[in-house]
Structure 1
């Protein structure tokens, strides 16, 4: 598994200047060290040699771990890795594949279905992504829409708005 920290630093929690610099710069946090340690413990069981650790984001509801190459694992192994990581960290964990904005949104909203994902370009040069979810899918969301919007904003780094659409407003 490719990771930003040295194996020795992760296992001992005594960070070398390079690893400490990554944390001091704000690029990574101690949460990332904990998650890399847990992934290293599970590395041989799930053959994570082709997987690259990107970053982890935490809210009070759950932790989102962003990896590259995660989709190459079999679906059953992906789900079991999430469960094992959750039990090691004692937190609810979702693992997503690093990819386009739409792919990340779809992975985090799953198993709920999306209506649309659209991007609006604003006059000041910024963009805003609007995610529309039917109201009947609310119960299938992993967390409430506000928490989901908060974590998506942090992962993607741009403005994401989640709109819940009532059945009457959906036009076919």
Structure 2
């Protein structure tokens, strides 16, 4: 398991002076530490998690965005049981995204399993970038993804102003 903090620290839920220094300097966030501890504790009962690589975790209004390796995301998405197990460990909703990916891939990961038809960016006067994502299908009250949360996460994590539109108008 690869984590932002030492694996020993994560398993014991106590930070060594080196990791404590990274938190104090701002290199690591409290969400990085919490997510590392949660994954290490969950790995004790689930061997799939033992091979995970967590690059970082960001918290936005009770939403936890986990930046993981591509294979780890696939493992979680193929097992509803594993997803629920992880979701139950966090205080808020978890969002799984690939680390070091493009803005387009980041947005697609947030909308998984919903299909994104297109993502377009335009530059407005004053160096302002506007991004529009067109989602497959029709919006209904039962749509599984809170689009307002996605807008806030994209703005906070990538500093992009995004507009979400559905293929079929309401």
Q: Does 1:73 align with 2:75?
A: yes
TM superposition score normalised by structure 2: 0.76
Match of 1:140 in 2: 143
Q: Does 1:111 align with 2:109?
A: no
Question: How do 1:41-56 and structure 2 match up within 5 A?
Answer: 41-43=41-43, 45-56=46-57
Question: Can you list the C-alpha shifts for 1:69-117, whole angstroms capped at 9, x where unaligned?
Answer: 324537433x333211121224332322222222221121123332320
Give the distance between the partners of 1:51 and 1:127, measured in 2 at CA. Answer: 34
Deviation at 1:41, TM superposition (A): 2.3
Match of 1:35 in 2: 35
| Aligned CA-pair RMSD | 2.9
Match of 1:15 in 2: 15
Gaps of 5+ in 2: none
Deviation at 1:118, TM superposition (A): 1.0
Counterpart contact for 1:112–1:140, Cα < 8 Å:
no
Counterpart contact for 2:139–2:168, Cα < 8 Å:
no
Deviation at 1:38, TM superposition (A): 1.5
Q: In structure 2, the residue corresponding to 1:140 is in which secondary structure?
A: coil
Give the distance between the partners of 1:74 and 1:4, measured in 2 at CA. Answer: 19
Larger fraction in strand: 2
Gaps of 5+ in 1: none
